Each structure stands twice: as C-alpha cells, then as structure tokens.
Amino acid sequence: MMIDKFKSIMYKHDDLRKNCINLLPSENMLSPMAKNALLSDMGQRYFFKENYEIDSSIKYSYHGTKHIGELIDYGEQIARELFEVDYASLYPISGHMAVVSALSSIPNKDGTILTYDPMYGGYPGLDKNKMPKYFGFNIESIPVEKDIPEKINLNKLNKLMDCLNPTAIILSSAHTIFPYPLEEIKKICRNDCLLIYDASHPLGLIAGKKFQNPLKEGADIVVGGTQKSFPGPQGGIILTNDYSNQLRNIEHFVTVDNPHFHRIASLIVSLIEMKHFGIDYADQVVRNTKMLGSSMMKLGFPVKYKDFGYSESHMFKLNLFEEYNIFSRTLEDINIIIDTSGRVGTNEMTRLGMKEDEMVEIAKFIERGYFHRENKKNLRKEIIDFKHSFKTEKFCF
C-alpha cells in the first residue's frame, strides 16, 4: 500500500535522527510542549488582525478566531520583552520571508544593497541572481578581512559607502561566529542607509543575552529564522524600534497571507522557554562550542581561529582540507552529522543537556571514526548508546 511506503520513510528518518549526534548549526529541537502546539486546530484556521474591505458593503473577516488574536497579541508581547524592542512580528513563515519583508519595506527598489558574498558564508538568498534581482536591487559585497572573512574590513567599507551610497547594508551570514561591530558600522552608514541584521543563526544567543544586542548597538531592523540557535519551529521573526509602520504595512497580504497560526503557537512556547531558560541555554551553547572546537584541535583537526577562542556563537569552523567530503561522509556513516561547508554546531546537543564533558567525548568519537578508521558498525552502536543517555529536551517546561 502507498501509505506503508510513507510510514516506512517517516520511521527511517525519525530513527536516524533520534540515534545520531547532530552537529549542524542550522537545526535544533522543539520541546514537547512546542511540538504539541504544532498539532493545534489553529493550523486549519484563518484570522485577520483587521478587516479587509473592498468597499463599504464587502468586508472579509473570520469569526471564531478571537483566541487566535489573543494568542498573537500575547506572543508579540513576549517577543518584545525578550528582545527588548518596540515592535515584533511573528508573521514571517521563514527567515527568508522575513528578509523579503525587510526588502519590501525599502522604498527605493533600484538602489544598491551591500551584503555578504556567499563565497564567504553570505546567505545564498541574497545572491545578486536570486531574491534581490527580482526586486530590482543592485547587490555589492561587503569587504571582509583577508585572513578572517567572518570579520568586516571597516576601512574598506567606509570607502565603499562613499562610492556606492547604498540604500541598505544587510548583515546576513550563515557563518556568524563572532559578533559584528555594529556601532562602528552604523557610524559608517549615511544618507538614511538602513542597517539590517539577519539574526537567523545567533537569534537564540541574542535571546539569551550572550552574543550581542543588535538594535541597541545600531541595527535598524532585525530579521531571522527561529530554528537554529533559537530552539523554535521553522519560521521567521522581525524586530525593530523605529521602522514599525513600514513593516506593519507589508505584514499582511504583501509578504504573507496565512502565517500558519499553529506555527506561531509553537513559536510562542519557545519564546516563553527562552525568557525563562535562555540565559543558561545560551551560556552552555557557547561553552560547548569552545570546548568541542578546542578538543578537536588538540586531536589534530584543522579548527579555525584558535587565537580568537574559536568562536563566540553556536558554531565553529574547520578548514576545508582535501578529504573533507570523505570526512563528512565517514562521520555520517557512524551517525555523526556535520555539513559540507566546515561548520560544526553544538546547539541541538546542548538542547539535549550535553555539556563540556560530552563535547570531549564527541571529539574522541570523531577522531576514532576518521583518523583511526575503527569498525563503523561497532563505533556507530557505541555512539547510539551514548546518544540514548540524552533523550530529553532541556531548558524547557
């Protein structure tokens, strides 16, 4: 039967993931309460904050949704408190759509935007041939330090501002391992150039007061996904103090129609969890990142930026050595998951309660799997047994 094949695929996926050590920085785990919220009846409903009127005789709205409106108001309040901002929108259905919303709010659609080059970890959605092209924006790359492309060359950026007079700078990187010098970048901005901060990767650390506070340090708008270092459902968020009117105007029927209210319910659970447990969670994530990075360095792996403490976020980076693809595939064979770009993240394993001692053990598993080439079947069983000691999500109710 067709349904049997579906059940088989789902079982195999869930079985793999519950038995693996996931070191992908782009993923995280929902708490049981947040996962349960995804099953809410709200996922089948429509709700408009304001009636949509064609003329005085035709209006679109939905009855039976007062509790959805109540929930959204409550969730936005929690988000404003958690991130210490005046405006928060939970409507974007992804981090990508949060960026689309920010771009849609810019009046000058034929201007230049400075953003990270994908060659240095910039978000692919902002590649000059992707999303901005269809808005009409011209894309130029933010200059970076030659030996540390995760850091911005402020002198070159200052000169580039004079030449290009950009409409906006979007700090959007999939390799956010160090905070940005936002105060200095804001001083470099001129002629109403917007400074947009993509917090997709460090959002959970920002919520936990561990990374940086973008809006207080100079950013005009913060956008982000809610499922990386922030342990929420797949989705997006927008935060600002000074651009609420512009963003509110494009919130509904421009970049989103139905924002998936069961997703918002789940996100609100995660926001409340971070309000209660975020500081401890973020602190442990960063400590785990540094410990795993230093442990792998000691075992002979080419971990970057030792002199800078490896990282200040939920991930560190490996140099892409010649056999890196073989390395990553070897780890997958023993149920350790990393990506192909050299990033190694600790957020999901921290969510399960792992601490520094476990990071040392994980580094040893990686050494045994790759350098020592131990029997994969035996090592995979040992790793599965290790993982089974950490079955329950922490930092939640």
pLDDT digits (tens, 9 = 90+) for 320-373: 999 999 999 999 999 999 999 999 999 999 999 999 999 999 999 999 999 999
**Residue 90 included in any domain:** no
- Which amino acid, residue 289? T
**Residue 346 included in any domain:** yes
- Which amino acid, residue 355? K
DSSP for 306-318, written as a single string: GGGTS-SSSEEEB
Domain CATH number, residue 299: 3.90.1150.10
**Residue 83 included in any domain:** no
Q: Which residue has the higher pLDDT, 252 or 193?
A: 193
**Residue 227 included in any domain:** no
pLDDT at 263: 98
Q: For the ranges 2-6, 150-154, 252-256, which has the lowest average pLDDT?
A: 252-256
User: Distance between CA atoms of 125 and 371, rounded to whole angstroms?
Assistant: 36
Determine contact, residues 221/133, Cβ cutoff 8 Å.
no
Euclidean distance between the first and final Cα of the chain, in Å?
A: 40
**Residue 340 included in any domain:** yes
Average confidence score pLDDT of the chain: 95
**Residue 301 included in any domain:** yes
DSSP for 57-104, written as a single string: TEEE--SS-HHHHHHHHHHHHHHHHHHT-SEEE---SSHHHHHHHHHH
Domain count, the chain: 1
pLDDT digits (tens, 9 = 90+) for 303-321: 999 999 999 999 999 999 9
Q: For the ranges 51-65, 95-109, 146-160, 314-328, which has the lowest average pLDDT?
A: 51-65
Whole-angstrom CA distances from 356 to 31, 295, 347, 353 are 22, 10, 13, 10
pLDDT at 199: 98
Domain residue limits at 365: 278-387
pLDDT at 166: 94
**Residue 382 included in any domain:** yes
| pLDDT confidence tier of residue 58, bands split at 50, 70 and 90 | confident
**Residue 345 included in any domain:** yes
